[in-house]
Amino acid sequence: MTSYRQLARNHDFTALWVGQTLSELGSRVSMFVFPLLAYALTGSALLAAAAEALHLLGLVGMLLPAGVLADRVHRLRLMRAASGAGVLLYASLVAAGVADALTVPHLLVVAFLTGACAGLFAPAEMSAVRAVVPDEDLPTALSQQQARQHVAGLVGGPLGAALYAVTRWVPFCFDALTYAASWLLLGRIRADLSAPARSGPAKRPVQELKEGIRFLLSEPLLRTLLCWSPLANLTVNAVFFVAVLRLIESGVDPLALGLVETAAGVFGILGALVAPWLIDRFATGRLTVLVAWSFVPLMVPLVFWNHPAVVALALSVGIFLNPAGNAGIGAYRVAVTPRELLGRSQATMSFVSMSVMPLAPVLAGVLLSSLGGGGAVAALVGAGALAALVPTLSRSVRSVPRPAVWQAELAAREPAPVVPAA
């Protein structure tokens, strides 16, 4: 298994990863500041929440068309267009802030459009990773992407608060600069990221999207992942919301609440660092099933104890294992997907998984109000067990071997190179 140090020698992947790490950090800063600024301008909690909701709506709404584009056009140009648009959008907030003309409508429009830029970028990025990273390096590369998300989540809030304390528009200036850095670093990629060669007549975008969906539904393993990922996503996020809301209701000190989230972020980073080691030593299918069940026993203590230390321990251990599960089966899924379908496959999988995100706080609120804290967690324990049964009962998931084995099997299927006659 390739180490992080070895992967750092991959010039193209490093340029892509560093650029997107910076822009993701900038986005987390802005997502922290959006509700603060919206509330400061209006005093409305509803409008404060609307900014993040619109960002998510823009992201999810763009995924499917972005998947089609990622399989049709030059992926590097697509990613640079998304990054360049992010520079202009956040720069518009900086200009409005300097002129003391920031308004909530402007803020909400930028939140929605930057979400759309993120959705446009994501499928093209996965296709680019597949193009610049060999199959044997995919688990480490995807583990490194998991680390990027946890680092941005951990640092984004405190950094956003510090920049917002300077003046209202400084966080958006920082975000514009991170997008500009991403745009520049993307320009350093040397690999050919043009769209895969196509045969036959051109198809309409809707037909191409249906082709990608049909591929996912035709493969037992991918079909299972398509069903399991939204169920797991909904359950785990609902657990987070229930745990945090119960602590708030019990009057826990905000500092203790912040430490719970910090512990979860730190363990997520640590989990991403050890993920390549875990992926290399376990069969990918068994590791996926293990991670699917990991949150179930960890949630049980939360039924009986509502204490910051218990919540921090349960969530942190679950998050520690999560990067290995995501990166391991994710690498296999990317490797077995034909290159010409990867953009649409990735976009559809992300769309289905992320579409349930807005339901998580709603589910948490309904369960808390109807069943109380312990009952809400108990219900989510049952839901988590049902979700974990999906990959557990799937032979196509359980049978995936260790990466060294499936990489050799995939390499053997590749057509032999044609040697020109002397």
**What are the tens digits of pLDDT across the range 41-52?**
888 777 777 887
Looking at the fold, whether 173 and 254 belong to one and the same domain comes out as no
**pLDDT for 381-409, tens place per residue?**
999 999 999 999 999 999 999 988 888 88
N-to-C CA span, the chain: 38
Q: What is the mean pLDDT of residues 291-314?
A: 86
| Predicted confidence (pLDDT) per residue in 67-96, tens digit | 989 888 899 999 999 999 999 999 999 999
Residue 3 has pLDDT above 90, yes or no: no
Q: Over range 163-187, report the average pLDDT.
A: 92
Angle between helix 254-281 and helix 220-249 axes, rounded to 10 deg: 160
Per-residue model confidence as pLDDT tens digits over 178-217: 999 999 999 999 988 887 766 666 678 788 888 888 988 9
The answer on 366 and 273 residing in a single domain is yes
Looking at the 3D structure of the chain, how many domains does it have? 2
Q: Which of 318, 325, 329 is nearest to 239 (CA)?
A: 318
Regarding pTM above 0.75, the answer is: yes
177 and 247 part of one domain: no
In a domain, 151, yes or no: yes
pLDDT reported for residue 1: 52
Same domain, 166 and 312: no
pLDDT digits (tens, 9 = 90+) for 211-235: 888 988 989 999 999 999 999 988 9
pLDDT at residue 266 in the model: 87
Q: How many CB atoms lie within 10 A of CB 346?
A: 28
State how far the alpha carbon of 55 is from the alpha carbons of 86, 107, 390, in Å: 13, 10, 31
pLDDT of 316 reads 85
Question: In CATH, what number is assigned to the domain containing residue 96?
Answer: 1.20.1250.20
CA distance linking residue 91 with residue 95, whole number of Å: 6
Residues 256 and 169 both lie in one domain: no
What tens digit of pLDDT does each residue of 96-155 get?
999 989 899 999 999 999 999 999 999 999 889 888 888 888 888 888 888 888 888 888
Say if residue 93 is in the same domain as residue 216.
Answer: no
Q: Are residues 40 and 65 in the same domain?
A: yes
Q: Look up the domain containing 127 and give its range.
A: 1-187
Q: What is the pLDDT of residue 422?
A: 36
